[in-house]
């Protein structure tokens, strides 16, 4: 997400114009952006599209996995099954601007391009259905390069000797997508991050839990093996406990196991003094912790890691089941110069319109809308004319100024 050039917050005394931005040579980039829109307007599809790109880059070197063939075309238009699907991302890696895109048709790559900007945008490679052009390589050598139509060149380039600048661009592209954090489902694999870096993120998470007054005194990651590799190979599986949620199960090199978080709560006497503690498992003891607490603990480690490592993180429905001040705190952490010293970026989808009335720029607010065919469109608040920084954005949004909303008042 790139910032507009207007200094819209220059007369605000809460956040300076630079607080929500991270400068990067010629580009002024946003530290965070939120996408709002009605249900089924296409917000989550943005994340799903990026997730598909990430998997395609990571895995398409192995055609047998069929990653490219799993591309889905638009479902609500007749005869669109044979249409092309175009994916493109502009990004900055190691202070260099890149533009990467590819096109899929009928489950095959028909175009793929990587550009780099120095003084101007120039190609590192351009690939068509049956040919490829690589900067610094003659045609005779190019004729020797064969790439499966079900694989991306960026995924298979390590098999070829390429000019240094081309190889660097491909390496930067692969690294950027590999470091991209996309969160739209809860799996126990997310708990493992609390054990990294000497449990640094667990300690930081506890500080936030205390501020949020959730009541958890401490927590830890616990694991239990269900099936060993010997059980699996010999086809003699043990019984998996009834009621075990699919999200709790993880398969690893040692077999199949379950992962949970053990949370510690205080036990108090009639005077309000803590006299003991009680262990509550986040997933196993499903009736104790709220859905909001569960969601927070699933996501918080990833959020803290993104801030710590300066990574880009996308979170679907970042405000779902969370109290407004808590969701607002997460967003402000990314906008903060102090808490976000590594220049991480947060892009999220949200429903709580009060989040757009905080200390945010107009170009940090995006809207999705769809036409009668179900085709989604994404627009920034900064694209609209006559929007004043003193406007109550949530009110004007509900009045339909920025995006067409479903009419839910016909029966009243």
pLDDT for the residue numbered 24: 52
Has residue 327 been placed in a domain?
no
Q: Do residue 79 and residue 143 come from a single domain?
A: yes
Range of the domain at 262: 198-291
Q: Do residue 66 and residue 175 come from a single domain?
A: yes
pTM: 0.85
- CA dist., res. 78 & res. 280, Å (int): 52
What is the per-residue pLDDT across 179-204, written as a single tens digit (0 to 9) for each? 999 998 777 678 999 999 999 999 99
- The average pLDDT across 326-350 equals 96
Q: Do residue 116 and residue 203 come from a single domain?
A: no
- The residue that leads in pLDDT, 382 or 27, is 382
- Final residue in a domain of this structure, among 275, 291, 307: 291
- Final residue in a domain of this structure, among 227, 259, 291: 291
Q: Do residue 242 and residue 171 come from a single domain?
A: no
Does the pLDDT value for residue 308 go beyond 90? yes
Which three-class secondary structure string do you get for 81-112? CCCCEEEEEEEEECCEEEEEEEEEECCEEEEE
Q: Do residue 78 and residue 162 come from a single domain?
A: yes
Has residue 209 been placed in a domain?
yes
Helix or strand or coil: residue 378? Answer: strand
User: Considering the chain, what is the average pLDDT of its residues?
Assistant: 86
Look at the block and give the residue holding tokens 């010293």: 341
Has residue 235 been placed in a domain?
yes
What is the per-residue pLDDT across 62-98, written as a single tens digit (0 to 9) for each? 988 999 999 988 877 777 778 899 999 999 999 999 9
């Amino acid at each position: 997400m790139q910032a507009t050039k207007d200094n819209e917050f220059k007369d605000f005394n809460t956040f300076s114009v630079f607080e929500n931005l991270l400068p990067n040579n010629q580009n002024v980039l946003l530290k965070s952006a939120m996408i709002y829109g009605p249900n089924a307007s296409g917000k989550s599809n943005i994340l799903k599209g990026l997730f598909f790109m990430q998997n395609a880059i990571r895995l398409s070197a192995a055609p047998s996995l069929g990653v490219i063939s799993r591309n889905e075309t638009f479902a609500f238009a007749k005869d669109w099954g044979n249409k092309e699907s175009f994916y493109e991302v502009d990004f900055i890696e190691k202070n260099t601007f890149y533009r990467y895109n590819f096109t899929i048709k009928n489950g095959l790559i028909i175009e793929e391009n990587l550009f780099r900007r120095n003084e101007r945008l120039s190609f590192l490679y351009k690939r068509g259905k049956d040919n490829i052009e690589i900067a610094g390589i003659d045609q005779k050598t190019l004729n020797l390069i064969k790439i499966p139509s079900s694989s991306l060149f960026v995924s298979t380039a390590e098999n070829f000797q390429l000019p240094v600048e081309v190889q660097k661009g491909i390496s930067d592209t692969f690294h950027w997508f590999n470091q991209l954090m996309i969160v739209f489902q809860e799996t126990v694999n997310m708990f493992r991050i609390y054990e990294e870096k000497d449990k640094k993120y667990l300690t930081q998470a506890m500080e936030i839990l205390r501020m949020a007054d959730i009541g958890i005194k401490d927590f830890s990651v616990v694991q239990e093996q269900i099936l060993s590799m010997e059980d699996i190979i010999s086809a003699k599986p043990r019984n998996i406990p009834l009621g075990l949620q699919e999200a709790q199960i993880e398969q690893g090199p040692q077999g199949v196991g379950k992962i949970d978080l053990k949370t510690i709560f205080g036990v108090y006497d009639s005077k309000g003094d803590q006299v003991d503690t009680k262990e509550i498992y986040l997933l196993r003891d499903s009736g104790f912790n709220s859905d909001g607490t569960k969601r927070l603990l699933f996501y918080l480690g990833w959020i803290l890691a993104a801030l710590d490592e300066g990574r880009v993180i996308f979170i679907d429905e970042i405000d779902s089941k969370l109290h407004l001040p808590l969701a607002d705190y997460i967003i402000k952490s990314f906008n903060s110069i102090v808490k976000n010293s590594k220049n991480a970026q947060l892009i999220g989808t949200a429903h709580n319109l009060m989040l757009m009335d905080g200390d945010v720029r107009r170009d940090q607010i995006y809207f999705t809308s769809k036409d009668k065919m179900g085709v989604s469109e994404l627009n920034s608040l900064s694209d609209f004319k006559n929007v004043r920084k003193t406007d109550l954005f949530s009110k004007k949004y509900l009045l339909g100024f920025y995006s067409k909303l479903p009419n839910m008042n016909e029966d009243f």
